[in-house]
């Protein structure tokens, strides 16, 4: 709708064959995740002002928002001193051979990954090994995606590398394992979809046997690193994990108490761990920031320059103490022209309108609503009722029974 189809059509005419070009809006959303070349400003038919155009050159090595932000400097962590102290204590215990497991639980944007990054920086400075397993909503139905992704990063395969070369690298890396090559190489080659040379016997296993044997081999291979030196193993966003990944993680947790390893897990509130009978897991729930903490974040985002008090009031009210929302809303304010710099502070350039949801968050929030099914209708009702309302009022207007209402609120 609107000018978007026209912009897309005009930009298509600028793109050379087999290339991708994007607009400034898309560039801001993908910046850091892809390497881009600035093609300069172009005058496009139907647009009043010239449009900056960028060509996508390829994917970057960034795997998360924090990887991208790290290039320009991360926002200082605010209000998490006790959580940081606990993680550092558990890391110290794990280095002594008393393996630890910590589960960070919290809603989207609450700062789970930022807290993980603090510990990763400490571990990095000590030269210890890190293993990071990322999940994403795009891969939640891909079997063992985070483990396969970790393997591929260890192997450092090139995108256009020939299969025989990939296999040679795989064989060389696995040769350091205590597992027999004849057993482990065919399993890992099948997992990574690499053709197996004739010198290796084929796998004569049923699908169930191959699945179980592969999972056990993966756990042994991953834990061998902890025999060489202490390991920080981070499993992020378990709410998107596929069952096979959770099976591998469960097998690992059985062995962690005797390994020099701190296993750090993150998840959303709705996630229910499948390992209730495992060794004790320290659970940490991250709560929203208070007003004082939100106000303490803002100077780090504005270069220590103060914002007008009415802008600060809106930031506090609109973000509800969610750190990611604070970051993105302040960035949007600074880029939108609503304020301008004057000495050590900002001043409004005109009347302050109600602040909207930043484009960097809008699509993610809408996608999350789309996945809520029944709860989406309740969210819409709540939006009409206001930012705060009584349960009795929602119950009175919601066209669902009590059980469905409770399930929707739980989502």
**Residue 259: per-residue pLDDT:** 92
Farthest CA pair distance, the chain: 75
Lookup: tokens for 319: 């973000």
- Give yes or no for residue 43 having a pLDDT over 70: yes
The arithmetic mean of pLDDT across residues 49-77, rounded, is 80
| Cβ-proximal residues to 57 (8 Å cutoff; 6+ apart), any chain | 34, 35, 36, 37
- Give yes or no for residue 70 having a pLDDT over 80: no
**Residue 159: per-residue pLDDT:** 78
CB 298 within 8 A of CB 330: yes
| Cβ-proximal residues to 74 (8 Å cutoff; 6+ apart), any chain | 66, 114, 117
In whole angstroms, give the CA distance from residue 259 to residue 231. 9
**Residue 366: per-residue pLDDT:** 67
The CA–CA distances, whole Å, from 217 to 183, 230, 322 equal: 9, 20, 40
CB 226 within 8 A of CB 239: no
Lookup: tokens for 318: 């609109």
In whole angstroms, give the CA distance from residue 106 to residue 222. 27
Say which range, 242-246, 313-317, 372-376, has the weakest mean pLDDT: 372-376
Task: Write phi, then psi, for 284 (nearest 5 degrees).
Answer: -125, 120
* Tokens 């998840």 sit on residue: 267
* Confidence category of residue 140, pLDDT binned at 50, 70, 90: confident
**Residue 289: per-residue pLDDT:** 94
Residue 324's nearest CA partner among 8, 124, 69, 27 is: 69
Task: Write phi, then psi, for 85 (nearest 5 degrees).
Answer: -60, -40
* Tokens 């985002």 sit on residue: 301
Q: Mapping DSSP to helix (H, G, I), strand (E, B) and coil, where does residue 287 land?
A: coil
Give the distance, in angstroms, between the CA of residue 19 and the centroid of all CA atoms in the same chain: 28
* Tokens 């966003």 sit on residue: 237
CB 377 within 8 A of CB 237: no
Q: Determine the topology of domain 67-285 in CATH.
A: Rossmann fold (3.40.50)
Say which range, 61-70, 241-250, 365-374, has the weakest mean pLDDT: 365-374
- Region for 246 from its dihedrals, namely left if φ exceeds 0, alpha if ψ lies in -120 to 50, beta otherwise: alpha
Q: For strand 100-105 and strand 21-22, is the pairing parallel, antiparallel, or unpaired?
A: unpaired
**Residue 378: per-residue pLDDT:** 81
In whole angstroms, give the CA distance from residue 390 to residue 374. 19
**What angle separates helix 207-228 from helix 181-191, to the nearest 10 degrees?**
110
- Give yes or no for residue 277 having a pLDDT over 60: no
Mark out the alpha helices in 31-111 (DSSP H runs).
65-70, 81-95
In whole angstroms, give the CA distance from residue 198 to residue 330. 59
**Residue 4: per-residue pLDDT:** 82
Percent of the chain whose predicted confidence (pLDDT) is above 70: 93
Say which range, 25-34, 116-125, 187-196, 227-236, has the weakest mean pLDDT: 25-34
* Tokens 């993980």 sit on residue: 116
- Give yes or no for residue 152 having a pLDDT over 80: yes
**Which of 78-92, 122-136, 151-165 tops mean pLDDT?**
78-92
Instruction: State the DSSP code for 137.
Output: G
CB 271 within 8 A of CB 238: yes
**Residue 137: per-residue pLDDT:** 80
What are the boundaries of each domain within the chain?
A: 4-60, 67-285, 291-360, 372-410
Residue 152's nearest CA partner among 273, 85, 34, 59 is: 59
- Give yes or no for residue 313 having a pLDDT over 90: yes
Give the distance, in angstroms, between the CA of residue 296 and the centroid of all CA atoms in the same chain: 24
Residue 347's nearest CA partner among 300, 304, 295, 307 is: 307
The arithmetic mean of pLDDT across residues 288-312, rounded, is 93
Q: For strand 231-235 and strand 129-133, is the pairing parallel, antiparallel, or unpaired?
A: parallel
Give the distance, in angstroms, between the CA of residue 372 and the centroid of all CA atoms in the same chain: 20
* Tokens 């309740």 sit on residue: 378
The arithmetic mean of pLDDT across residues 302-325, rounded, is 91
Other beta carbons within 10 Å of 383: 9
**Residue 397: per-residue pLDDT:** 85
pLDDT tens column, 171-228: 999 999 989 999 999 999 999 999 999 899 888 899 999 999 999 999 999 999 999 9
**Mean of pLDDT over the chain:** 88
CB 39 within 8 A of CB 54: yes
Other beta carbons within 10 Å of 229: 12
Task: Please tell me the pTM assigned to this model.
Answer: 0.81
Mark out the alpha helices in 175-206 (DSSP H runs).
181-191
- Give yes or no for residue 20 having a pLDDT over 60: yes
pLDDT tens column, 341-400: 998 999 999 888 887 767 667 665 666 666 666 677 888 888 888 877 888 888 888 888
């Amino acid at each position: 709708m609107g000018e978007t189809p026209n912009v897309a059509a005009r930009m298509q005419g600028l793109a050379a064959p087999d290339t991708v070009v994007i607009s400034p809006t898309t560039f801001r959303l993908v910046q850091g995740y892809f390497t881009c070349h600035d093609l300069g400003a172009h005058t496009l038919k139907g647009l009043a002002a010239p449009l900056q155009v960028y060509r996508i050159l390829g994917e970057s090595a960034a795997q998360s928002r924090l990887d991208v932000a790290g290039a320009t400097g991360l926002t200082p962590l605010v209000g998490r001193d006790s959580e940081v102290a606990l993680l550092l204590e558990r890391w110290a215990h794990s280095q002594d051979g008393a393996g630890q497991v910590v589960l960070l639980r919290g809603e989207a944007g609450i700062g789970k990954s930022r807290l993980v990054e603090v510990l990763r920086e400490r571990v990095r400075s000590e030269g210890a090994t890190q293993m990071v397993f990322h999940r994403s909503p795009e891969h939640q139905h891909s079997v063992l995606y985070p483990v396969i992704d970790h393997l591929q990063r260890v192997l450092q395969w090139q995108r256009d590398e020939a299969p025989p070369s990939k296999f040679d690298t795989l064989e060389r890396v696995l040769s350091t394992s205590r597992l027999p090559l004849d057993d482990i190489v065919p399993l890992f080659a099948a997992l990574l979809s690499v053709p197996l040379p004739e010198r290796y016997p084929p796998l004569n296993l049923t699908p169930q046997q191959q699945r179980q044997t592969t999972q056990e081999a993966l756990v042994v291979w991953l834990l061998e690193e902890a025999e060489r030196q202490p390991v920080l193993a981070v499993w992020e966003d378990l709410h998107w994990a596929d069952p096979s990944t959770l099976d591998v993680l469960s097998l690992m947790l059985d062995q962690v108490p005797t390994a020099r390893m701190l296993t750090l897990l993150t998840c959303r509130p709705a996630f229910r761990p499948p390992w209730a009978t495992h060794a004790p897991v320290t659970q940490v729930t991250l709560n929203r920031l208070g007003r004082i903490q939100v106000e303490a974040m803002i100077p780090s985002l504005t270069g220590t320059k103060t914002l007008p008090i009415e802008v600060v009031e809106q930031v506090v009210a609109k973000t509800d103490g969610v750190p990611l929302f604070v970051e993105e809303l302040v960035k949007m304010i600074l880029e939108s022209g609503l304020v301008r710099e004057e000495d050590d502070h900002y001043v409004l350039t005109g009347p302050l309108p109600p602040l909207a949801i930043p484009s960097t968050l809008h699509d993610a929030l809408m996608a999350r609503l789309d996945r809520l099914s029944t709860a989406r209708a309740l969210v819409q009702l709540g939006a009409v009722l206001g930012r705060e309302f009584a349960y009795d009022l929602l119950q009175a207007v919601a066209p669902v029974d009590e059980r469905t209402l409770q399930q929707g609120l739980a989502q």
